[in-house]
Amino acid sequence: EVQLVESGGGLVQPGGSLRLSCAASGFSFSISRMAWVRQAPGKGLEWVAYIKQDGSERYYVDSVKGRFTISRDNAENSLFLQMNSLRAEDTAVYYCARRRKYTAPRPGIFYYAMDVWGQGTTVTVSS
Amino acid sequence: DIQMTQSPSSLSASVGDSVTITCRASQSLNSYLNWYQQKPGKAPNLLIYGTTSLQSGVPSRFSGSGSGTEFTLSIRSLQPEDFAIYYCQQSDSYPHTFGQGTQLEIK
């Protein structure tokens, strides 16, 4: 069964740090692009970060640049999100997701979408 | 960053109805537009990628269309399990922003 399981969430004070983990199983993690998406309480989805298969490309939403770091361990089939200098506005459910590559009808064109999601882990930043 | 705007923000419909949700982008997306469905307390579920392609396992009553900056998700003959929140997402350029969501409620 294809599965992603997040862990590492919890309550942390403003300015603190937390490291989220995402354990992958049932598919070839080492050849999969991965991402983190978050959802603040009662709010919509926010794309947070992305990492290529070998870690050579990483992108972040502006609001977390310089504070969050996405990484992976292909030998352990694991994705991580190191979150530093946490703020109240980082409070959210954090989902890891596989970003799958689809072939488009036109030659040489590919589409990307998040086809597998974890159940989420809750991060609460509060004093 | 590309801004994604969905309309309406909420929608009431009955089982058996057909509905359409619109997503507008602040710049052209070259068909790099995805749709997700989210039910309360659950992770999102991919419905459509590349504007029109149905994800495996998704019922054919869901369809997507559009180009450039305007895209639509259509659901025909609504079923009870379709009442949820729907999000569009662009994958043209980073960050891959989402729309604010459209809540589809039972009338």
Q: Is residue B67 predicted with pLDDT exceeding 90?
A: yes
Q: B58 to chain A: nearest residue by CA?
A: A115
Sign of CA dihedral A27, B47, B31, A47: negative
- Nearest-Cα distance to chain A for B6, in Å, is 12
**A111–B91 CB contact, under 8 Å:** yes
User: In angstroms, what CA-CA distances link B29 with A107, B26, B93?
Assistant: 18, 9, 8
Tens digits of per-residue pLDDT, B1-37? Answer: 999 999 999 999 999 999 999 999 999 998 999 999 9
- The share of chain B scoring above pLDDT 70, in percent, equals 100
Which residue among B31, B53, B87 sits closest to A44, beta carbon to beta carbon? B87
Separation of first and last alpha carbons in chain A: 39
Mean pLDDT of B60-66: 97
Distance CA B31, CA A118 (A): 26
Residues, chain A: 127
Predicted pLDDT of residue A20 = 98
Which residue among B46, B55, B100 sits closest to A44, beta carbon to beta carbon? B100
Q: A100 to chain B: nearest residue by CA?
A: B49
Give CA angle at A16 (A11, A21), nearest 5°: 65
Q: What is the DSSP string of A53-107?
A: TTSS-EEE-GGGTTTEEEEEEGGGTEEEEEE-S--GGG-EEEEEEEEEEEE-SST
Q: What is the DSSP string of B54-107?
A: EPTT--TTEEEEEETTEEEEEE-S--GGG-SEEEEEE-SSSS-PBP--EEEEE-
pLDDT mean across residues, chain B: 97
Q: Which residues contact A85 (CB under 8 A, 6 or more apart)?
A: A15, A17, A67
Q: How many CB pairs under 8 A join A and B?
A: 67
Predicted pLDDT of residue B40 = 96
**Radius of gyration for chain B, computed over Cα atoms and rounded to the nearest angstrom:** 13
- DSSP-derived letter for residue A26 is S
Task: Check if B71 contacts A (Cβ < 8 Å).
Answer: no
Judged by DSSP in three states, A127 sits in coil
Measure CA A16 to chain center.
Answer: 19
Task: Check if B87 contacts A (Cβ < 8 Å).
Answer: yes
Judged by DSSP in three states, B5 sits in strand
- Residue by residue, pLDDT tens for chain A (127 residues) are 999 999 999 999 999 999 999 999 999 999 999 999 999 999 999 999 999 999 999 999 999 999 999 999 999 999 999 999 999 999 999 999 999 999 988 888 899 999 999 999 999 999 9
**B43–A44 CB contact, under 8 Å:** no
Predicted pLDDT of residue A105 = 83
Distance CA A32, CA A75 (A): 13
Predicted pLDDT of residue B54 = 97
Q: What is the DSSP string of B6-39?
A: EE-SEEEE-TT--EEEEEEESS--TT-EEEEEE-
Mutate to test the interface with A, among B73, B96, B98, B102 (most CBs of A within 10 A): B96
